[in-house]
Structure 1
Amino acid sequence: MCGIFAYLNYNVARERGYIAEVLFNGLRRLEYRGYDSAGIAIDSNRSGFVGTSKTAESAGIDRNEVSKSNSISIPYNHPLVFRQEGKIDSLVGSFYEEVESLNLNLEEQYSIHAGIAHTRWATHGVPSPKNSHPQSSGVEDEFLVVHNGIITNYEVLKETLIRQGFTFESDTDTEVIPKLAKFVFDKAHDGDGDQTVTFSQVVIEVMRQLEGAYALIFKSPHYPNELIACKRGSILLLGVKELTEDVTTRSLFHDVKTLTRNGKPKELFFSSDLCALVEHTKNYLAIEDNEVVHLKDGCVSIFKFDYVTEKPASIQRALSFLEMEVEQIKKGNYDHFMQKEIHEQPQSLTTTMRGRLKGKSVILGGLKDDIKTIRHSRRIIFIGCGTSYNAALAARPFLEELSGIPVTMEIASDLLDRQGPVYREDTAVFVSQSGETADTLLALDYALENGALCVGITNTVSSTLARKTHCGVHINAGCEIGVASTKAYTSQIVVMIMLALDIGDDKVSTKQRRETIIDGLYNLPNIVREVLKLDTAMKDLAESLMDEKSLLVFGRGYNYATALEGALKVKEVALTHSEGLLAGEMKHGPLALVDETLPVIVIATRDGCFSKQQSVIQQLHARKGRLIVMCSQGDVSLACSTGFCRSIEVPQVEDCLQTVINIIPLQLLSYHLTVLRGYDVDQPRNLAKSVTTQ
């Protein structure tokens, strides 16, 4: 997963330094996803380019002045490329050092200027300046590209370009793209024909050669003050701001072309994340797969690419309005985004349920046209990765109980590896916080091909998952900045519980059970506020576990998912080995690990598995296990009846809602353990927020 950002100002004077800072700030808004290098490209006034007779003519130079070698030095705004390993601050520091050494005037103004920027999560090649983006076509930077995704046929393209005389500097798959653009451009301008090639024609021809998933932004001095973006399988957004508009006001314009053809001063943005747009504008467009978006002369042109049509047709697209506030992407009074998002869960759960609980009923507008089909499904398949998979696992027992439909669980990558059977009579429910998780999207394509009804559960309205599924539910948890998902996890569980309630609404036999759960949902945010008061106790527990190298978490029934998710949080942010285990499997191997030194957390709150968990605790005591028991308030004596153990007491709620309550102390534990150990809690080592590579 990489972050891409671009900025174009039109008919409004902006200083070079201002433009650079807009690009840097765009990257800062993306950096929360966890990146390892970054770069930007802006314009200079440096000239000196070797072009062909065709480029000379397009520059207004008589062909007779071209040398016999068919080349000429043509002045143009040579791009300046700045790349650096590390965080954004490293790039900013090196930028200002280079600016000083180049004696570059940051106060110089441009009425039109196109700049691009990138943050990289290394896939091909280690983090380093040469592997950072923008990647270049060569020494003169005739074409520059920033890229999110992966090019699967890059090795074949690289070999072909090497045979054409190109040399490669980086280890990335991306470098083939700008070099391929230069190859297409040079070939089109080779000879004495009068036909010139447009920027969009170059990019479309490049797209014909690429395989894989990508979002791309192109910049070229051959096409000054223009930007082109295209995408296939990776998220990309366009933001549009007229300088006369109020960023908080809903635009009166619907068609993006209508807005941009009026010649008024404006700023245009490309971004891989809404978080980088919200402080500039609320008018945005989610670019679809195989769309090519060309920014030129203050206008936006959109083309639909396909492999058959040589000249893709121009299409019209409507702008959307961003329902997000700037405050959501700031830490406020918290030290870290993860801390903020853990403590925001009463609010996120409230917004998730707002408008969906009506008296003793649940209304999910996004499913109303398909709910009968879901009720008559032969099978419901939950498909996700990581935390989203765990959330689905937490909701599965309740969905089975209310619907009477078999519910199976699939890790997206494993479903694809096995090519597991999916049928037309199935309902496939895809769960993803970002809606851009690569494995989940590939599994979605697979399910669509097999004719299943596809339901999306995501936190991002404009995401690929939201657009590709037949129907779905927006979890509405608010922007989640920390790489480790917290509030999205609990909101996902609540949405899937509401899904179960909606599916089971036609059954008289479960009416009382449904009404009891709905009453519990109304009160859930208040209970979560009570659980968050365990913050200090969890910090104390974290201090006692600071030096431990391993941790086991045992759960059962509804709370098997809690064990998996609690262990995952400790693993991904505190960088401590931890395993979530099914307590019913304890005797079949895991018990061999237990001794007086290994910390073991057992989740033993009151539900149908409580007595079984008491037995687990007794067996662990018999092996002198170092026990930490999570139990319902007042149950310490029952849960730890056979010996000493450390306890975490939580409020008791309905069994299917207990998973929401029980995960919060473990979230707090992982947060404090990470901070105490001195690790970056918001950007864990080697992880990115949304993995869109395969």
Structure 2
Amino acid sequence: MCGIFAYLNYNVGKERRYIMEVLFNGLRRLEYRGYDSSGIAIDADLGSSAEEEGGTPYTSPLPLIFRREGKIESLVGAVYSEVDAIELDLEKLFMVHAGIAHTRWATHGVPSPRNSHPQSSGLWNEFLVVHNGIITNYEVLKETLIRHGFTFESDTDTEVIPKLAKFVFDQAREVGDQVVTFSQVVIEVIRQLEGAYALIFKSPHYPNELIACRRGSTLILGVKSLTDTKNYAKSFGDVQSLTTDCQATELFFSSDLCAIVEHTKNYLAIEDNEVVHLKDGVVSVLKFDYNKEKPASVQRALSVLEMEVEQIKKGNYDHFMQKEIHEQPHSLTTTMRGRLKDKSVVLGGLKDHLKTIRHSRRIIFVGCGTSYNAALAARPFLELLSGIPVAMELASDLLDREGPIYREDTAVFVSQSGETADTLLALEYALSNGALCVGITNTVGSTLARKTHCGVHINAGCEIGVASTKAYTSQIVVITMMALAIGADKLSTQSRRESIINTLPDLPDKVREVLKMDDQMKDLAKSLMEMQSLLIFGRGYNYATALEGALKVKEVALMHSEGMLAGEMKHGPLALVDEILPIIVIATRDACFSQQKSVIQQLRARKGRLIVMCSKGDAASICSGGSCRIIEVPLVPDCLQPVINIIPLQLLAYHLTVLRGYDVDQPRNLAKSVTTQ
């Protein structure tokens, strides 16, 4: 996946330096989406030396492209060096200017300037494109374009898009004197594309215009009126009236809301197959249809962003992951706010579908990575309260097997971003099989939220660190509340339900208590930082905790770690036990407590290097004689214990990463919200 950003100022004077900094800051906000290379495109001056020497096929300013391997600051430094070398006037004032930017997570082609975006149509950069997603038929398109004389310079799938745009443009001009519009060119291009994408086009043939479109990848339009702020939070009505009378306006495209919140709270979540054209300060929204030659103009309404600038800043923390771990008391509070009322749970997004869910033959959870683990943690409680069999599916495996899904099933799709590629493909598969599809996501307006029949927003707030932390615990709480709502009609579990509902409001305070163990977990990390491997044993509710804790250590500390079902210990893993390999055993008080005590005794008998997580007051009975290192956590009801138990492991992974000298927010080879396969 990648981050894309664009900025257009209309009828408001902005210096070139300011325009560049807006683009750079947009990329900084999106760097968690990709950080192996980046690039921007802005305009030179009309009549620049490059144009005077060679001549160009248009009369507008020459586009300037800057691309660099590495992180955003590498690009920033390179751009200012190149600008100085060509003596570009950074103080030049533009009343209208369109710039685009991109930060990349490599899928096709190694990180390098030539594989970075913007990708170009060729000589003179007649069409430029930034892209998030994957074009599945790019090889066929590339062969066709090569036969028509095009030369390719990169290894990317993206390069076919601007070259296809030039091919369409040239073909249209050869037909006659009829003027072809920018939107006509783009619509003909996307008619040929297969796959998932969010695209932004820039062309000197259409100076000071931008076009964006999407299919399967998030894309946001932000609108900032400098003259009439009240009307911008209302319905567009006729989209042509969005910016009229030459109002001073700043417009932003972004693949994430966090990149526009510092500029405006008025936004539009662009829908699949919509083409948004910015021209003369006016926004036009067109709906593309494969079966129709011409797109239809559509009316859309702006939404108001419920996010504050402080959420996208680190504040007093050293890293976003650290900040987000410590934000969990707040994120859990906002997740539960307004949903616990009079010994009942109210989930507005599910209330019209609860009867259908209760009559399902089974409930199927589908997710990837951390989201899968969150569903696994809550599964036992859902089974207990609903009496419905609950199946777990990794999205990619479900697709590979084409596993059976029936009309009588309820399929619950869990995704922090709501844009995870495999999860969305699995959603399409479940929809085609007639199942009721429920979405659980942290992102309002995401593809998952729009395509499911119903769902719940976890409301954990913006999560920028690549390794999910606060979204994980909020997902567990949301699925727990979902179980409470589904099981509300069963008298046999009424007392159990009421006990959990009464306990939930105290959970944030329990989390605050665990967060005070930060120094203790840092000290443990120091003792483990030279280790090559780590095992974590869990069972019951905390099997998911073992998986998620090990995943966090892998993701950010780049240390081999495995979460294992303790009940399987004697079926292979026991052979690994020795005095060197550190083993964490999760043995808090629940139905599996006695079995975990037995596991600990067997590991001690084999001189295992044990670290035991237990409930407060149980240390002496579990590990007498100081043979184990102890992590004591507060005791909460068993279905909520995974929320408590994961936090020391999150802290451990964080401190291991920092001590080992790795980038905790941008781990090697990973990016947030994987939207490409």
Distance 2:370 2:455 in 1: 19
* Secondary structure at the counterpart of residue 167 of structure 1: coil
Distance 1:73 1:488 in 2: 50
Question: 1:251 and 2:219 equivalent?
Answer: no
2:545 to 562, 568, 579: 562
* Secondary structure at the counterpart of residue 368 of structure 1: coil
Per-residue deviation, residues 283-315 of structure 1 (Å, max 9, x unmatched): 111111111111101111111112111111111
The match for 2:18 is 18
Change (3 A) 1:504 1:253: same
Distance 2:446 2:576 in 1: 43
The match for 1:610 is 593
Distance 2:600 2:33 in 1: 39
Distance 1:21 1:487 in 2: 31
Distance 1:369 1:72 in 2: 60
Per-residue deviation, residues 317-367 of structure 1 (Å, max 9, x unmatched): 111110100000001111111111101110000000000000211000111
Contact 2:220 2:267 in 1 (8 A): yes
The match for 2:491 is 508
What displacement does 1:196 show?
Answer: 1.6
* Secondary structure at the counterpart of residue 382 of structure 2: helix
What displacement does 1:509 show?
Answer: 1.3
Question: 1:5 and 2:5 equivalent?
Answer: yes
Larger mean Cα displacement after TM superposition, 404-413 or 24-33:
24-33
What displacement does 1:409 show?
Answer: 0.2
1:430 to 413, 435, 439: 413
Distance 2:616 2:201 in 1: 59
Contact 1:374 1:503 in 2 (8 A): yes
What displacement does 1:244 show?
Answer: 3.0
Distance 1:627 1:391 in 2: 25
The match for 2:303 is 320
2:130 to 146, 167, 171: 146
* Secondary structure at the counterpart of residue 655 of structure 1: coil
What displacement does 1:34 show?
Answer: 4.0
The match for 1:175 is 159
| 1:35 aligned partner, one-letter code | Y
Distance 1:259 1:75 in 2: 29
Distance 2:58 2:190 in 1: 28
The match for 1:57 is none
* Secondary structure at the counterpart of residue 390 of structure 1: helix
Distance 1:544 1:518 in 2: 39
The match for 1:54 is none
Change (3 A) 1:74 1:374: closer
Contact 1:143 1:178 in 2 (8 A): yes
The match for 1:356 is 339
Per-residue deviation, residues 423-450 of structure 1 (Å, max 9, x unmatched): 1111000000000100000101111111
The match for 1:28 is 28
Distance 2:453 2:461 in 1: 23
Per-residue deviation, residues 125-146 of structure 1 (Å, max 9, x unmatched): 1111110000000020000000
The match for 1:598 is 581
1:48-447 correspondence runs (5 A)? 74-191=58-175, 193-244=176-227, 251-255=233-237, 256-447=239-430
Contact 1:304 1:312 in 2 (8 A): yes
Distance 1:612 1:545 in 2: 26
* Secondary structure at the counterpart of residue 367 of structure 1: coil
Percent of matched pairs sharing the same residue = 80
Larger mean Cα displacement after TM superposition, 314-323 or 399-408:
314-323
What displacement does 1:257 show?
Answer: 4.0
What displacement does 1:32 show?
Answer: 2.5
Distance 2:149 2:373 in 1: 51
Distance 1:245 1:607 in 2: 59
* Secondary structure at the counterpart of residue 640 of structure 2: helix
Contact 1:49 1:73 in 2 (8 A): no
Contact 1:242 1:266 in 2 (8 A): yes
Per-residue deviation, residues 99-141 of structure 1 (Å, max 9, x unmatched): 1111100111111111000000011111111100000000200
1:648 to 631, 639, 644: 631
Distance 2:173 2:506 in 1: 69
Distance 1:115 1:351 in 2: 37
The match for 1:59 is none
Contact 1:428 1:447 in 2 (8 A): yes
State the TM-score, normalized to the length of structure 2: 0.98
Distance 2:128 2:252 in 1: 17
Distance 2:410 2:59 in 1: 60
Per-residue deviation, residues 359-413 of structure 1 (Å, max 9, x unmatched): 2110001111111111111110000000000000000000000000000000000
Instruction: State the superposition RMSD in angstroms.
Output: 1.6
* Secondary structure at the counterpart of residue 9 of structure 2: strand
Per-residue deviation, residues 655-688 of structure 1 (Å, max 9, x unmatched): 0000000000000000001001110000000000
Change (3 A) 1:464 1:72: closer
1:392-541 correspondence runs (5 A)? 392-541=375-524
| 2:566 aligned partner, one-letter code | A
What displacement does 1:643 show?
Answer: 6.7
Contact 1:34 1:684 in 2 (8 A): no
1:626-645 correspondence runs (5 A)? 626-641=609-624, 644-645=627-628
Change (3 A) 1:558 1:297: same
Question: 1:692 and 2:675 equivalent?
Answer: yes
The match for 2:37 is 37
| 1:587 aligned partner, one-letter code | K
Question: 1:681 and 2:667 equivalent?
Answer: no
- Which runs of 5 or more residues in structure 1 are unaligned? 52-70
Contact 2:235 2:300 in 1 (8 A): no
Per-residue deviation, residues 1-59 of structure 1 (Å, max 9, x unmatched): 100000011111111111111101100110123421100001112459999xxxxxxxx
- Which runs of 5 or more residues in structure 2 are unaligned? none
Distance 1:156 1:424 in 2: 37
**Off by >4 Å, runs of 4+ in structure 1:** 46-51, 71-74
Contact 1:40 1:115 in 2 (8 A): yes
Distance 1:102 1:293 in 2: 34
Distance 2:670 2:269 in 1: 25
| 2:300 aligned partner, one-letter code | R
* Secondary structure at the counterpart of residue 123 of structure 2: coil
